[in-house]
Amino acid sequence: MPIFNDDTMEQKNLGGSHYGFSAKRLNDLGASEYTLVVIACDVSGSVTHYRSDLEKCVKEIVSACQHSDRADNLMLRLVAFNSRLDEVHGFRPLTECDLDKYTGTLQTGGMTALFDAAKNGIDSITQYGRDLTQNDYDVNAVCFVLTDGDHNASPLTASVVAKAKADAIKSESLESLLTILVGVNITEPMVANFLADFETKGEFDQYVELDNASKATLAKLAAFVSQSISSQSQALGTGGASQTIDPNSLSL
């Protein structure tokens, strides 16, 4: 059951998919421009031993964004995926996200529908971005896909992710879109090679690889994601996307 469900949210379908998304009703929005953020987080069985630290990482991202100068202009959607996709919550202003409600939301098990999650994240940005743009909002977006393994739960291919991104750009619903793939706890060369290949075939703007899932590494991941969100939001109105951030340049 998604958290933050109330009558200010509405359910939206995505054509050609049985996975939809939810989003804040336009009549309940208070700003004139928004950066849409999707975080798609792998919760397959291999994540189990660091699930609580990953959950804390998500909370740190939300907290950091809530303290941003652009907090009123950020909307976040959080998706957890294993063999299927589960929306933790739909597009909602960061200022309305209660940190306490994230506790216990990442439940692990199953396989990895990686391509499904990435495609759904981008498609939801495109559709909600179109809704906003058609109602005179200025919109850009960033989509993060966090995973520790390869795709093994559906017949989709990496090319559907590249097509979803191309369709987003063609739709003219967004001023710009950044897509960032993050490999967490990547210790096997086979997995590292798979994700590097997915970066290319999925046409991601950036791939970040983390060789462990320690508390310190996940804290740096939280800082990287929150700063990337802030940078993309600050770029809204410039006509282009922000520059990608090197996570190794961050000091904690």
Q: How many CA atoms lie within 13 A of 240 on its CB side?
A: 3
Condensed to tens digits (0 to 9), the pLDDT of residues 46-98 reads 999 999 999 999 999 999 999 999 999 999 999 999 999 999 999 999 999 99
Q: Provide the residue ranges of all domains of the chain, joining segments of one domain with +.
A: 32-140+149-235
| 38-55 residue pLDDT tens | 999 999 999 999 999 999
Residue 154 C-alpha from the chain's centroid? 20
Give the model's pLDDT for residue 18.
80
Instruction: Using the structure block, give the residue that is written with the tokens 């953020």.
Output: 37
Under CATH, which architecture does the 32-140+149-235 domain have? 3-Layer(aba) Sandwich (3.40)
State the average pLDDT for the chain: 94
Amino acid 248: pLDDT? 79
Q: Name residues whose C-beta falls within 8 Å of residue 161's C-beta, 6 or more positions apart in sequence.
A: 115, 118, 119, 122, 198, 201, 202, 203
